[in-house]
Amino acid sequence: MLPEQEAAMSALGAPRYSILVRIETTSQVIRAWAGVGDLAIPADTVEAAPATYLGVGLLGEVPALRQLIGGVAERLEFALSVPSGDVFALADADVEQVRRAPVSVGLVFFGTSWQQSTVAWLWNGTADSTTVSRQASGLNVTRQIKISAGSAFTDRTRAQLTGFTDTDQRRRSSDDSFCSRVDLYTQTATVKWPA
């Protein structure tokens, strides 16, 4: 958590806050928050104009957010619980509208009488694929659509590096001799550099 968000929470005493998720597809912007009823958010860096976030019935699950530097880039799945309606079409017929859609996750802070004070946008990513999950146990059927989103570091075309032999490195870059001495090393011998 950023220092200014920490300060905002402390200043408000007993923390009252909620989570915002914004998914900007080509045809519509899905705005959902974890609370109840409508929530009006003023214009800021993410929202160009004041917008209304929808409460109950849309936001199912927000995963834990991480930012990694030099690690494996993360991929998150947001769950929207939609038994019906046009949002469901996004996962079914209008998949193309979701691909590459910007996804933003933020926190909204409230004062002691639930008057909202600040909105802090925490994470930006790009939506990728959508899946429909349907679970039935007895007569209870729950249906959600899950939108997979990656951060700016996520790219599925690049595999994680596994082999570090000279052959592997030359396959990646033909004139790179960085790993040329790897085969001189063994587990039991220490070779002076340069030998």
Contacts with other proteins in 40-69 (CB under 8 A)?
Answer: 40, 55-57
Q: Which of 1, 7, 26, 38 binds other proteins (CB under 8 A)?
A: 38
The set of residues, in sequence order, having a beta carbon less than 8 Å from that of 117 and lying 6+ positions away, is 8, 12, 109, 110, 111
Distances (CA, A) of 98 to 91, 121, 145: 8, 20, 12
Give the nearer residue to other proteins in terms of CB position, either 141 or 191.
Answer: 141
Contacts with other proteins in 2-21 (CB under 8 A)?
Answer: 14-19
> Cα–Cα distance between 195 and 182 in angstroms, integer?
12
Give the nearer residue to other proteins in terms of CB position, either 36 or 65.
Answer: 36
Give the nearer residue to other proteins in terms of CB position, either 12 or 73.
Answer: 12
- Let me know: does 35 contact 116? Beta carbons within 8 Å: no
> Cα–Cα distance between 39 and 138 in angstroms, integer?
35
Q: Which of 2, 93, 139, 161 binds other proteins (CB under 8 A)?
A: 139
34 near other proteins, rule: CB under 8 A: yes
78 near other proteins, rule: CB under 8 A: no
Closest CA to 91 of 163, 54, 144: 144
Closest CA to 181 of 173, 192, 171: 192
Q: How far is the CB of 24 from other proteins (least distance, A)?
A: 22
Q: How far is the CB of 139 from other proteins (least distance, A)?
A: 7
Binding site for other proteins (CB under 8 A): 14-19, 33-40, 55-57, 110, 113-116, 139
